[in-house]
């Protein structure tokens, strides 16, 4: 069968019956089929804040700056060079590359940059990441290729935030935006009316078809200004169960599996003659959150007792079969000197009985399914470790993700005294593992209110550089203070894995610290 015939059949399937009927035969000849157990609920940058929707946006859209494959060093993408920054750290000047077009044919200019960044901030979708742009005060566009961003306060991590998908640049002649920020207490319809279910950007792929919970078809866009992708089409298949994805990978129904298999399933892939395993650097973390407004989490002694009772090595071994590392700070070890194992320093060798001498009843909440098939075992192990101290009586309760997030936080309205959560980085800076959790106002959890912590967070953001000695010292103080007061207990950092059939190349290139799975580097040998 010729490539032209395959393509014709593929397009007929998409137009007639939807992406669910697409078969591996339709994707012969260098095209890639990827399986995942993640889901995509939106492709609008203003609303997207889940891992996989962000991953899709990285493949179909562009930002001013980005992380090259395999690198943790930020680099220009839509701009000619890294920005000029004023001495006071409040003004960033970008010069756009010329000749870039959107997938609808319109030319990308500074007007579109201002529109896109203001739009994400002003829509203010509570499910989105617009808060990452909250430091923006004003954006000027003195000419079509110049963008000047003024901040309210200095923020050394600001450029890194512009690499996240909330800062995806969109065509202002396609999307709509409010003309001012939507209030925090607005009804969902207020901000949802500005959001789109379809995507138009300037990235290497276009979304040709999307059937939620089934599949998404991406086709290369000929007008892309960067290097041509190594494949022509990518089909992403969404699996309800990892066992289904495992069968599909072993049978050749899919070429690549990324997020996520259970430890037992990964064991079954060891020493496979047909499938390669690729291991990345851990940046996604898991942790236990306390709501200090609710009993028994109000008690510092109880929180410290929980911290002392946690056996992270046991969790990693028994629940994840080694596919993770123990975590003693919210900042993962991959950040080097910026990661200080303060929980190990303070609670290593301690016991729960060093802090409490009476029985404590604790209800621990978790979300069914959202973090994969091991979540129940994770919650049960935490419960077991606490109860083995003979000082805790733990009741486990679970909820679907929508109910869980609506009920768990922020602390002022949260209904859970303790709950398990996870985090993956928006931007590659230690600040992304600290401010979202410990800032009294900017944290999405808002379980911690400490003026000294707010001052320290302000100090690290106004440092003269991202890795100065003074900033590293401040990071250490932040982590030590967090371990002292225990609003959150870090537990482990996930080791990312991808699996690909032997004829697939390029996977190793994209398993870097940025946690972006770049489809355009993948190819099928002989395709």
Q: What residues pair up with 55 in beta bridges, in sequence order?
A: none
Q: What are phi and psi of 432, to 5 degrees?
A: -70, -15
The model's pLDDT over 469-482, given as tens digits with 9 standing for 90+, comes to: 999 999 999 999 99
CATH 3.10.105.10 location in the chain: 284-494
CATH code: domain 62-192 is: 3.90.76.10
User: How many Å apart are CA 335 and CA 337, to the nearest integer?
Assistant: 6
- Helix intervals (H) in 273-390: 300-309, 312-318, 342-347, 375-387
Query: Which positions ≥6 away from 397 have C-beta within 8 Å?
Result: 363, 364, 365, 366
End-to-end alpha carbon distance in the chain: 13
pLDDT number for residue 10: 41
| Res. 3 pLDDT band, cuts 50 70 90 | very low
Assigned token pair, 35:
């399986």
User: How many Å apart are CA 229 and CA 237, to the nearest integer?
Assistant: 20
**Average pLDDT of the segment spanning 116-121:** 98
User: How many Å apart are CA 184 and CA 164, to the nearest integer?
Assistant: 22
The answer to whether residue 8 scores a pLDDT higher than 70 is: no
Task: Concatenate the DSSP letters of all residues of 4-65 into one string.
Answer: HHHHHHHHHHHHHT-GGG--GGGGTTT-EEEEES-------TTT--SHHHHHHHHHH---SE
**Average pLDDT of the segment spanning 217-239:** 96
pLDDT number for residue 11: 42
pLDDT number for residue 263: 87
Length of the chain: 527
**Average pLDDT of the segment spanning 31-57:** 95
User: How many Å apart are CA 409 and CA 61, to the nearest integer?
Assistant: 31
| Res. 27 pLDDT band, cuts 50 70 90 | low
Instruction: Kindly give the interhelix angle for 300-309 and 469-485, rounded to the nearest 10 degrees.
Output: 100
The strand order across the sheet containing 136-143 reads: 84-85, 91-95, 146-151, 136-143
The answer to whether residue 399 scores a pLDDT higher than 90 is: yes
CATH 3.40.190.10 location in the chain: 3-41+203-281+496-524
CATH 3.90.76.10 location in the chain: 62-192
The answer to whether residue 389 scores a pLDDT higher than 60 is: yes
CATH code: domain 3-41+203-281+496-524 is: 3.40.190.10
284-494: CATH topology: Dipeptide-binding Protein; domain 3 (3.10.105)
Cα–Cα distances (Å) from 485 to 111, 296, 457, in that order, read: 46, 15, 16
| Res. 24 pLDDT band, cuts 50 70 90 | low
User: How many Å apart are CA 455 and CA 226, to the nearest integer?
Assistant: 42
Assigned token pair, 23:
């078969």
Instruction: Using the CB atoms, write b or e for 184-215: b if 16+ within 10 Å.
Output: eebeeeebbebbbeebbbbbbbbbbbbeeebb
**Average pLDDT of the segment spanning 297-310:** 98
Q: What residues pair up with 399 in beta bridges, in sequence order?
A: 367
Please identify which residue in the block is written with the tokens 């851990």. 282
pLDDT number for residue 71: 83
**Average pLDDT of the segment spanning 274-292:** 94
**Average pLDDT of the segment spanning 288-311:** 98
| Res. 15 pLDDT band, cuts 50 70 90 | very low
Phi-psi region of 311 (alpha: psi -120 to 50; beta: other; left: phi over 0): beta
The answer to whether residue 135 scores a pLDDT higher than 60 is: yes
pLDDT number for residue 26: 54
When the pLDDT of each residue in the chain is averaged and rounded to a whole number, the result is 92
Q: What are phi and psi of 92, to 5 degrees?
A: -120, 125
Q: Which uninterrupted H or E stretch holds 401?
A: helix 401-408
The answer to whether residue 70 scores a pLDDT higher than 90 is: no
User: How many Å apart are CA 265 and CA 58, to the nearest integer?
Assistant: 28
**Average pLDDT of the segment spanning 49-61:** 95
């Amino acid at each position: 069968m010729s490539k032209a015939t395959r393509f014709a059949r593929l397009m007929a399937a998409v137009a007639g019956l939807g992406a669910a009927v697409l078969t591996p035969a339709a994707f012969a000849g260098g095209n890639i089929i990827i399986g995942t157990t993640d889901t995509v609920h939106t492709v609008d940058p203003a609303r997207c804040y889940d891992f996989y929707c962000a991953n899709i946006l990285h493949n179909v859209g562009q930002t001013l700056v980005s992380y090259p494959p395999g690198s943790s060093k930020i680099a220009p993408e839509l701009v000619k060079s890294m920005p000029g920054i004023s001495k006071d750290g409040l003004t960033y000047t970008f010069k756009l590359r010329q000749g870039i077009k959107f997938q609808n044919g319109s030319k990308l200019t500074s007007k579109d940059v201002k529109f896109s960044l203001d739009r994400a901030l002003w829509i203010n979708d509570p499910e989105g990441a617009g808060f990452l742009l909250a430091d923006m005060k004003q954006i000027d566009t003195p000419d079509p290729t110049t963008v000047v961003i003024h901040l309210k306060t200095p923020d050394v991590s600001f450029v890194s935030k512009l690499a996240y998908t909330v800062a995806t640049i969109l065509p202002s002649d396609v999307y709509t935006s409010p003309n001012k920020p939507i209030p925090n207490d607005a009804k969902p319809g207020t901000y949802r009316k500005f959001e789109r279910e379809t995507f138009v950007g300037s990235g290497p792929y276009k979304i040709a078809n999307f059937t939620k919970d089934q599949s998404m078809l991406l086709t290369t866009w000929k007008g892309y200004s960067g290097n041509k992708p190594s494949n022509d089409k990518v089909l992403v298949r969404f699996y309800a169960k990892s066992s289904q994805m495992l069968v599909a990978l072993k049978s050749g129904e899919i070429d690549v599996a990324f997020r996520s298999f259970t430890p037992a399933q990964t064991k079954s892939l060891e020493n496979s003659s047909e499938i390669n395993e690729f291991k990345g650097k851990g940046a996604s973390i898991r942790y236990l959150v306390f709501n200090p407004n609710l009993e028994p989490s109000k008690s510092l002694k109880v929180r410290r007792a929980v911290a002392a009772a946690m056996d992270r090595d046991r969790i990693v071994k028994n629940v994840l079969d080694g596919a993770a590392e123990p975590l003693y700070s919210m900042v993962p070890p991959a950040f080097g000197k910026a990661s200080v194992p303060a929980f190990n320093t303070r609670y290593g060798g301690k016991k729960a009985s060093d802090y409490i001498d009476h029985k404590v009843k604790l209800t621990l909440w978790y979300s069914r399914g959202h973090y994969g098939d091991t979540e129940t075992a994770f919650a049960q192990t935490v419960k077991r470790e606490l109860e083995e101290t003979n000082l805790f009586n733990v009741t486990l309760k679970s909820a679907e993700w929508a109910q869980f997030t609506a009920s768990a936080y922020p602390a002022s309205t949260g209904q859970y005294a303790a709950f398990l959560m996870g985090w993956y980085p928006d931007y590659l800076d230690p600040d992304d593992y600290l401010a979202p959790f410990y800032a009294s106002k900017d944290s999405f959890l808002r379980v911690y209110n400490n003026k000294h912590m707010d001052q320290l967070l302000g100090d690290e953001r106004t440092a003269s550089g991202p890795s100065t000695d003074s900033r590293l010292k401040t990071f250490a103080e932040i982590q030590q203070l967090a371990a002292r007061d225990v609003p959150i207990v870090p537990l482990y950092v996930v080791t990312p894995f991808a699996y690909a059939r032997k004829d697939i190349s390029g996977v190793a290139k994209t398993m870097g610290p940025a946690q972006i799975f770049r489809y355009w580097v993948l190819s099928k040998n002989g395709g």
